[in-house]
């Protein structure tokens, strides 16, 4: 009987030592997985969007063909591929071969832009010219407060960059 009284509360102490640490690790694993998914989504969206733009060159603007792209089309395509990423928290930059830049900061500001892209200035829409789609997303997590690494980490936020360059083929 006295032994049982001495062991009373041992389970609570063991849980306090091991259980709380285990729950913290489980939550950290979940948030790390979310961050990895968001980074992959941004990188995939940048890649697929640059592939989409690469087939919208000068030959799409010939009479009888209507396959040109507007900034709104490109922003919508990026939004489609960036699964689970809010369009008001992603910054997208479109850059041509000559360095002409179109910025959507945030992405939802370009969803109604009817400017044809890539532009015809400097022959940026010709076959063999490069187009680049860059994106950045601020991932927020309460666990990032404890992150000891370097980089552009604010309180609970780290920026995920992504970039893809393709050559116009059509």
Specify whether the CB–CB gap between 46 and 161 falls below 8 A. no
Mean pLDDT, residues 45-55 taken together? 95
**Model pTM score:** 0.81
Give the distance, in angstroms, between the CA of residue 4 and the centroid of all CA atoms in the same chain: 57
12-32 confidence digits (pLDDT tens): 888 888 888 888 888 888 888
Q: What is the rounded (10 degree) CA torsion for 39, 96, 60, 71?
A: 60
Place of tokens 């961050």: 35
Please report the pLDDT score of residue 101 as a whole number: 95
92-150 confidence digits (pLDDT tens): 999 999 999 999 999 999 999 999 899 888 888 899 999 999 999 998 877 766 655 55
If pLDDT is split at 50, 70 and 90, which confidence band does 6 have? low
- Torsions phi, psi for 19 (to 5 deg): -65, -45
Share of residues in the chain with pLDDT > 90 (%): 49
Please report the pLDDT score of residue 74 as a whole number: 95
Edge-to-edge strands, sheet with 90-95: 101-104, 90-95, 130-140, 157-167, 153-154
Q: Which long-range contacts (CB under 8 A, 24 or more apart) does 96-99 make?
A: 96/122, 96/124, 96/129, 96/130, 96/131, 96/132, 97/122, 97/124, 97/129, 97/130, 97/131, 98/122, 98/124
Q: Are strands 157-167 and 90-95 parallel, antiparallel or unpaired?
A: unpaired
| Residue 128 Ramachandran class (φ > 0 left, ψ -120 to 50 alpha, else beta) | left
Q: What is the rounded (10 degree) CA torsion for 60, 65, 67, 71?
A: 80
């Amino acid at each position: 009987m006295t032994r049982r009284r001495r062991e009373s509360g041992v389970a609570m102490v063991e849980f306090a030592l091991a259980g709380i640490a285990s729950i913290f690790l489980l939550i950290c694993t979940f948030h790390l997985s979310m961050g990895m998914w968001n980074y992959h989504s941004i990188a995939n969206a940048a890649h697929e969007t640059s592939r989409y733009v690469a087939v919208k060159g000068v030959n799409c603007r010939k009479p009888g063909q209507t396959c040109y792209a507007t900034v709104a089309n490109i922003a919508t395509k990026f939004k489609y591929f960036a699964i689970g990423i809010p369009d008001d928290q992603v910054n997208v930059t479109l850059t041509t071969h000559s360095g002409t830049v179109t910025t959507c900061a945030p992405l939802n500001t370009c969803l109604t832009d009817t400017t044809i892209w890539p532009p015809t200035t400097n022959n940026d829409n010709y076959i063999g010219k490069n187009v680049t789609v860059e994106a950045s997303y601020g991932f927020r997590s309460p666990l990032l407060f404890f992150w000891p690494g370097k980089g552009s980490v604010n309180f609970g936020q780290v920026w995920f960059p992504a970039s893809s360059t393709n050559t116009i083929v059509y």
